[in-house]
Amino acid sequence: MEKQLEKLLDAIKADFAKSQRRWIKSDKSNAQRIEDSIKAHCEQLGYKAGKKYIKITERNGGSAWGFIVNSSDDPKFKRGDILKAASWSTPAKNKARGNIIEENFSWVRWTGPEYLR
């Protein structure tokens, strides 16, 4: 599942870069500052594996992006399911937003998994 975790982090980084680079079009004087911001944000992304969940975070402890189910014996979710963060230490357990094993990251946003529709 490590390969899929890296792909998820790459999708988060790409979405962040896309969201920030749109500002360069209107303000070229800040292009270097924006690129530095993108680089810094991308370097801070990481994850911490626990028994039940893998927490996707900024390494400096700034925020929790979401959680990945890391257990095969969860009664509601399957291994690899992506859950939105309810708080820094707790996932929202209403419904999975996707599954990293399926490697479909079109719903990933740098701010977190998309809301349910």
Q: For residue 48, is it within any domain?
A: yes
Q: How many domains does the chain have?
A: 1
Q: Please choose, from the candidates 65, 72, 31, the residue with its C-alpha nearest in 3D space to the C-alpha of residue 51.
A: 72
Average pLDDT for the chain: 88
Angstrom distance (rounded) from CA 18 to CA 59 = 21
Q: For residue 82, is it within any domain?
A: yes
Q: Which residues contact 49 (CB under 8 A, 6 or more apart)?
A: 70
34-85 tens-digit pLDDT? 888 889 888 999 999 999 999 999 876 678 999 999 999 999 999 999 999 9
Q: For residue 117, is it within any domain?
A: no
Q: For residue 81, is it within any domain?
A: yes
Of 4-18, 62-76, 95-109, the least confident: 95-109
Q: For residue 116, is it within any domain?
A: no
Q: For residue 115, is it within any domain?
A: no
The residue range of the domain holding 61 is 2-108
pTM: 0.85
